[in-house]
Amino acid sequence: MGIMHIVFLLFPGVTQLDLTGPAQFLSRLPGAKVDLVWASLEPVPTDAGFSILPTATFTDVPHADLLCVPGGMGVASVIDHAGALDWVRQVGSGAEWVTSVCTGALVLGAAGLLRGYRATTHWAWHDLLPLFGAEPVAARTVIDRNRATGGGVTAGIDFALTLMARIAGDDVARAVQLALEYDPAPPFDSGSPAKAGAELVEVYTARANRLAPNRRADLIAAAHRLGFQAS
């Protein structure tokens, strides 16, 4: 296997684990070369309060073997960023794998890369996938042809292992899982709305709305502006 160029979109307000979780795993693929791409090489602030350095700019990376778009608080701004959306569209049109984690699926959708594909995203945003032409599926990982999407945040690790198995085989993925000791045993069983219950879902929703009160309206407006209202 030759070099496999894997590129992640890095943007202000990214949920860092959406990016760093899959990057840690996918970087172990045979021949992997990973780039974190943004408009400049200046440090990019994440939603965790620290910044990450890009390794390349949009002009440096016109194509790649695998494109991954993470999610985060800054997704609506990315969709409004013509340069970022054009880059996602350009790289995604020629990539062997076009992928996302969490609300990064909405960016793929906005770029026209999920029209007619089954996809997943964070549970709180599944209802927006059809606005961008995708068919929502409630799953940790969804693969439809060469589109691979992961659910919210930590699902990015399951997504990465599933994708690794498709690309390099189960044995490679299993070995990486062992090397990184991915053997989850959470102290609480509240990682999905069904398990958490309505009260906790309401607490989460209220907090999310305080942090980004206009995010849902901005994403719906973006879908309409981009011509997806008939989807």
State yes or no: pLDDT of 44 exceeds 70: yes
Name 33's Cβ contacts closer than 8 Å, sequence gap at least 6: 3, 4, 5, 6
pLDDT for position 211: 87
Question: In this structure, is residue 195 part of a structural domain?
Answer: no
State yes or no: pLDDT of 1 exceeds 90: no
Number of DSSP helices (H) and strands (E) in the chain, helices first: 9, 11
State yes or no: pLDDT of 13 exceeds 70: yes
Question: In this structure, is residue 196 part of a structural domain?
Answer: no
Burial 62-82, CB ≥16 within 10 A → b, else e: eebbbbbbbbbbbbbbbbebe
State yes or no: pLDDT of 32 exceeds 70: yes
Question: In this structure, is residue 193 part of a structural domain?
Answer: no
Q: Is 102 a catalytic residue?
A: yes
pLDDT for position 228: 87
State yes or no: pLDDT of 215 exceeds 50: yes
Q: Which of 102, 110, 113, 222 is catalytic?
A: 102
Q: In terms of pLDDT, which residue wins out, 152 or 2?
A: 152
State yes or no: pLDDT of 126 exceeds 60: yes
Question: In this structure, is residue 35 part of a structural domain?
Answer: yes
pLDDT for position 231: 43
Range of the structural domain that residue 124 is part of: 4-186+214-225
**Mean pLDDT computed over every residue of the chain:** 96
Q: What is the mean pLDDT of residues 91-118?
A: 98
% residues pLDDT > 70 (the chain)? 98
Domain count, the chain: 1
pLDDT for position 83: 97
The CATH number of whichever domain residue 8 belongs to comes to 3.40.50.880
State yes or no: pLDDT of 230 exceeds 60: no
Question: In this structure, is residue 230 part of a structural domain?
Answer: no
